Structure 1
Amino acid sequence: MKFIIKHEMKGRMRVRLSQKRMTYEQADILQYYLLCNESVKLAKVYDRTCDAVINYTGDRKEVIRLLQEFHYQTVEVPADVLATSGREVNAQYQEKLFNKVVFHYARKWFLPYPLNACYTSVMSLKYIWKGIKCLWARKIEVPVLDATAIGVSVARWDFSTAGSVMFLLGIGEILEEWTHKKSVDDLARTMSLNVSKVWLKTEDQEVLVPASKIKAGDRIVIRMGTVIPFDGDIVDGEAMINQASLTGESVSVRKTVGSYAYAGTVVEEGEITVGVKQVSGNSRFDKIVTMIEESEKLKSGVESKAEHLADRLVPYSLGGTALTYLLTRNVTKALSILMVDFSCALKLSMPISVLSAIREANLYNITVKGGKYLEAVAEADTIVFDKTGTLTKATPTVVDVVPFDGRTPDELLRIAACLEEHFPHSMAKAVVNAAKEKNLDHEEMHSKVEYVVAHGISTTIDDKNVIIGSFHFVFEDEKCTIPEGKQELFDSLPEEYSHLYLAIENQLAGVICIEDPLREEAKTVVAELKKTGFGKIVMMTGDSDRTASAIAKRVGVDEYYSEVLPEDKAAFVEKEKAAGRKVIMIGDGINDSPALSAADVGIAISNGAEIAREIADITVGADDLGQIVTLRRLSNRLMKRIQSNYRFIVGFNSGLIVLGVTGVIQPTTSALLHNTSTLAIGLKSMKNLL
């Protein structure tokens, strides 16, 4: 691909591609291609100018090479990415907005007065009919006020005022619809699947293959804690499945052979084999959009209050209009109240503020599944961290394998990787990656694998019982023993590492030592969170007290709890909530899921277990824990913006009513100032908070 570098600074490059025009699809393909490269932090492609802005880390030569090697035809992009990118939606609404403005002023300046009056009268019927329907339903809400203001203006032959009111209401509707649709689509897109590999069941074994290779009719195995990647019939096994992403209901559903499994739902318990029915299309995306639209999930408490307040104020506006007319017998003064209401600005600015904040969070790689969660983050005073993969690095590494039964370290690592690759956890990934680095390939040599949450894995190999997991699971639950003469070796295991214990036939076979280093930013993040108003920061882990104590001191948390089980984390969250505290839980594993669900806000790390991401209300990137601080500041500023908007709307519109009733300004001026301020505050609410 040929291109020109238009502008450049360290870590950032703006290029223009050598083509006359760019389609929406081409822009999406290029953006997907760039973002799939590890050296690219952020990429934006502008289809109108054929430009691309690239923020990158590392060598600029790598970015230039990427662009030189790029061809639209060779990039494989998932169909859902192209279908749901939102680029076409933005273009449509920009065009709607432009056409609305051009048509309004062209009609106002060039259309003869009789025709203009006739057009305004006809268009007013839509608003008047909405008001009548609202009254018919025995409600006195915003449509009644709009209908009255427009109807009275038309009745007084004041077509200019009626036209201006309708124009500004129309602009507001477009802006609200645009922001709402874009935010819902962004949210649905981030909730959509991103499954790269699946377990394909063949006649004699299971094979891990790219999801793109699966076709209708294939059978795939889905185990506990894993997202179901495709729609299909369950042909083997049974499981409790969480369907919250589609139905909004968090209660798991039991499904057995013959039941239908939906893409995007999560296996909470059990194991199933699914016969794939559909591998492409936007069915899941459409289902999520419908679920979001039909639920109250997007609405924050302040947003709902603003809507109710806006509707409650309508009778007072109508009553004030009638009272002013009775006292003054002056239609103009009475109309000054009718032309100014608090409802429009309240109902427009509040949702736009919230939806815009959700959009902005996406820029920082933070996925927020609803406005109410931003409000809860702002109000929270207690935050609970899981340790492994959260306060510590998301990619722990194997540093040693200590044999206890005569097998070689590589053979023990091969067995461990064979078991661990079936279950999503940072420690499991460390074992699998270590085996891959040593080219320790293996076929499925075990029977059915059973995963015990927060404990370990159990199976049989060559008719021998094999388990791998924590000290508690291996030695206390399963009563395994240390081989004779190996106690001294066991006692000398390095304490600075986390340990995974592998036992065969109830005897310790090997210990895998895993380095689980603390994130460099962890201490700073904890300190920054305290500055933002958190009164209590807690760390909870299944690790030993020795390891937990050392990490807690280094990070600076207020409290820590060691050797805890999933139910212990959830119980702690419930206890804090019962004490009147608002609690945030942050975790990345299957064992964190109960606590994530119990908290006021559950935050999952993006590369953690799929069930954690599904259950969580917010997902943050794995690269930087500082996104938690960003999220808190964003939420705090959102609440300040909402309060500021509220004060301005009440103050400014009250001033307009006073000026109108006292005769200082005319109703036309009141309407113009009111609607202009409503539009301005709506546009201001769309600006970034940070």
Structure 2
Amino acid sequence: MKIQRFIQQHQTHITLASAILIALGFFAKFVLHSTIVYDWSFILASIIAAVPIMIHAYQALRVKVISIELLVSIAVIGAFIIGEYNESAIVTFLFLFGSYLEQRTLSKTRESIKSLTEMAPATAILVNEDGSQEEVDIDDVDEGDHVLVKTGASVPVDGKIVSGSGYLDEAVITGESKPVAKHQGDDVFSGSILGNGTVTVEATKVGEDTTFGKIIELVEDAQDAKSPAESFIDKFAQYYTPAVLVIAALVYIFTRNFSTAITVLVLGCPGALVIGAPVSNVAGIGNGAKRGILLKGGAVMNDFAKVDTFVFDKTGTLTLGNTAVSAVKTYTDNADTALALVARAERLSDHPLGKAVIDYVNGKDLSFEQLNVTDNDTVKGQGLVADIDQHHVLVGNLKLMQANNVQLTAAQSSDLASVQATGSSVIMVAVDNVLALTLGISDVIRPEVKAQLQALRDHGAKHLVMLTGDNHITAQYVAEQVGIDEVHAELLPEQKVEYIKQFKADGRTVAFVGDGINDSPAIATAQIGIAMGSGTDVAIETSDVVLMQSSFEALVHAYALSKKTVRNTKENIVIAIGVVLFLLLGLILGFIYMASGMFVHEASILVVIFNAMRLIRYGNLKVTPQLQGKSSHALS
């Protein structure tokens, strides 16, 4: 066992020694004209290179697997029998050198995934109850502990900032490189890097339970999850390798040419076929992980590539999930004064729509906090009445206006109807019994949605559907603004599931895109469940694809990447099978021999690896030109 372990650990050195001996052999023959040195150089090169190959073949046979190494081992023994030492030396060297290059190039495809684990914090600065600090192993931090994070350090836990502030780089979680400002009370994720400042974080999740820990676990598991192509190749290899042995035996029986039979063994090795599919999937998964897109393995990649129907939740998916002022109709010469008055009035109320108004006025840098309120009253079901800075202000709905004899012109009534038609909530503002403003407030549509939905179509999506619990008017308006084909509104979660089951029964391949919490039943029902969110437990565990950045651009990239990866896998399979057929044809026609065939065989392995590595750089998606840059500010 120790010898086996030593040989496996020094396989690279053995490959180098084999190359040196082969070079020495050629030097002895063509420069020194020494046949003895020539023969013994190749004999030694064959023996030392064959040892690790035969060890792998033996280990495979112990578990009843006929491996590629067995084919090469038999071929080397056969070459020795017929005295073709140069052939056996070159074949074994090329096989080992191909394995070396394969591991080197494979490691590059895993770099983006490996970098995730290297970013995982190993220690934390624990803040004790008496204020003292000590550096401890990350495994010694418990939920509820306070940890100190200094400038340039990595956040060791998921938690909430209890003191301090700074800018955090959350690229490892979301794929978004732009730093995010964090203050007291804000949530932070393990693995984020503090760009400046110092913060103290109360741990809510530690170790493998953190969002970052789950990401690492998910990506590592994804590499092991086989695609249908990989599963097929595994089964194919089980029968293919013994078949090559049988074919080689038949060639010898019918031709009595031992050298040709041995060459069949060498050229029949399905190396490129075996490596082609896994390397494509690893490269595709690594590409996604680098951009905050988590795809749960090759099978998910394969199914995602077949999706023709995308089903979306509305709130938090097509929209941002937070209310804002969406429409402002002005009927006064001094709109700024009217806005300041309504903002000051909303300070007197805890109504959720009031915050949207205050945020809007703050965004216009209007000063209103100093305005003097002398009287105010809340009218149930209508709104608010207040005397502010010597103005009588009414803030509420149409009933409040009518109750206070505020008359609307035909144009104002038309404006009111148009705002209501968007499904927006309406706030009417009268100053001194004259209508001054009509404000529409609703959930903001993501500005990039329309262009990115068209990009989904460009990449093969045929049906875009919205399933929402919101009212029909709002849902229809949002659908018209972003280009949704089919809308179903006022649905309960179980009704969304029924629609998805119906789409599947109609023969569609369905992907459901939601926030991963309320929509978890629908996500689980669809062939592909996609969670757009910041990595909640439910999102990671329930969905097949997690978009940590929660952007439609990431959704389009994931969809296009899955198609590209599946296509890349098929290309590799075609290349691998094509090379084997070419080599066997060349053997029959007499222009391919053992050494030259082995060179082509090993070169084909590198071709499929380099072809797969193109996926690592894949990412410059094209958006339909006429839609690029357009944004929709309509609200639902």
Check whether TM > 0.5. Answer: yes
Query: What is the letter of the counterpart of residue 382 of structure 1?
Result: T
Query: What is the letter of the counterpart of residue 546 of structure 2?
Result: T
Matched with 1:109 is 23
* Correspondence for 1:347 among 227, 249, 274: 274
* Correspondence for 1:567 among 490, 494, 508: 494
* Correspondence for 2:347 among 384, 397, 410: 410
d(CA) in 2 for partners of 1:674, 1:538: 48
TM-score, normalised by the number of residues in structure 2: 0.61
Query: What is the letter of the counterpart of residue 570 of structure 2?
Result: Q
Provide the aligned length of Structure 1 versus Structure 2.
Answer: 472
Query: What is the letter of the counterpart of residue 410 of structure 1?
Result: R
Matched with 2:523 is 596
Query: For 1:16-27, what aligned pairs fall within 5 Å after superposition?
Result: none
Shift of 1:629: 3.0
Query: What is the letter of the counterpart of residue 60 of structure 2?
Result: C
Shift of 1:283: 10
d(CA) in 1 for partners of 2:500, 2:208: 39
Matched with 1:547 is 474
Mapped pair 1:147 → 2:73: yes
* 2:552 aligned counterpart, secondary structure: coil
Shift of 1:314: 0.8
Query: What is the letter of the counterpart of residue 131 of structure 1?
Result: A
* Correspondence for 1:125 among 35, 51, 58: 51
d(CA) in 1 for partners of 2:97, 2:532: 39
Q: Higher relative contact order at CA 8 Å, sep ≥6: structure 1 or structure 2? A: 2
Alpha carbon RMSD of aligned pairs, Å? 5.0
Identity, in percent, stands at 26
* 1:538 aligned counterpart, secondary structure: strand
Matched with 1:245 is none
* 2:445 aligned counterpart, secondary structure: coil
* 1:537 aligned counterpart, secondary structure: strand
TM-score, normalised by the number of residues in structure 1: 0.56
Q: 1:641 to 1:302 in 2, by over 3 A?
A: same
Query: What is the letter of the counterpart of residue 147 of structure 1?
Result: S
Matched with 1:39 is none
d(CA) in 2 for partners of 1:214, 1:128: 43
Q: 1:676 to 1:632 in 2, by over 3 A?
A: same
* Correspondence for 1:310 among 226, 230, 237: 237
Larger Rg: 2
Shift of 1:313: 0.9
Mapped pair 1:137 → 2:63: yes
Q: Which whole-Å deviations, capped at 9, do the CAs of 1:139-180 have from their partners, x for residues lacking one? A: 334343233234433444444443444444434444554566
Q: 1:588 to 1:291 in 2, by over 3 A?
A: closer
Matched with 1:538 is 465
d(CA) in 2 for partners of 1:533, 1:584: 13
Matched with 2:545 is 618
Query: For 1:210-609, what aligned pairs fall within 5 Å after superposition?
Result: 216=141, 219=144, 297-341=224-268, 343-362=270-289, 364-393=291-320, 397=324, 409-410=346-347, 412-413=349-350, 482=381, 488-489=398-399, 495=420, 496=422, 514-588=441-515, 590-607=517-534
d(CA) in 2 for partners of 1:431, 1:347: 62
d(CA) in 2 for partners of 1:214, 1:431: 46
Shift of 1:632: 2.8
Shift of 1:547: 0.8
Q: Does the Cα contact within 8 Å between 1:498 and 1:514 map onto a contact in 2?
A: yes
In the alignment, structure 1 segments of 5+ residues that lack a partner are 1-95, 196-201, 204-212, 222-228, 233-262, 265-274, 418-426, 439-480, 502-511
Matched with 1:652 is 579
Shift of 1:675: 1.8
Shift of 1:320: 0.9
d(CA) in 1 for partners of 2:535, 2:474: 21
Query: What is the letter of the counterpart of residue 381 of structure 1?
Result: D
Matched with 2:132 is none
Query: What is the letter of the counterpart of residue 409 of structure 1?
Result: E
d(CA) in 2 for partners of 1:154, 1:285: 55
Shift of 1:192: 11
Shift of 1:330: 0.5
Q: Does the Cα contact within 8 Å between 1:602 and 1:617 map onto a contact in 2?
A: yes
* 1:581 aligned counterpart, secondary structure: coil
Per mean C-alpha deviation after superposition, the further-off stretch among 331-340 and 483-492 is 483-492
Q: Does the Cα contact within 8 Å between 2:319 and 2:444 map onto a contact in 1?
A: yes
d(CA) in 2 for partners of 1:98, 1:307: 27
d(CA) in 1 for partners of 2:269, 2:231: 15
d(CA) in 2 for partners of 1:529, 1:300: 23
Q: Which whole-Å deviations, capped at 9, do the CAs of 1:304-334 have from their partners, x for residues lacking one? A: 2122222321122111100011000001221
In the alignment, structure 2 segments of 5+ residues that lack a partner are 1-9, 26-36, 122-127, 130-137, 147-155, 160-189, 192-201, 328-338, 365-379, 385-395, 402-415, 428-438, 620-636
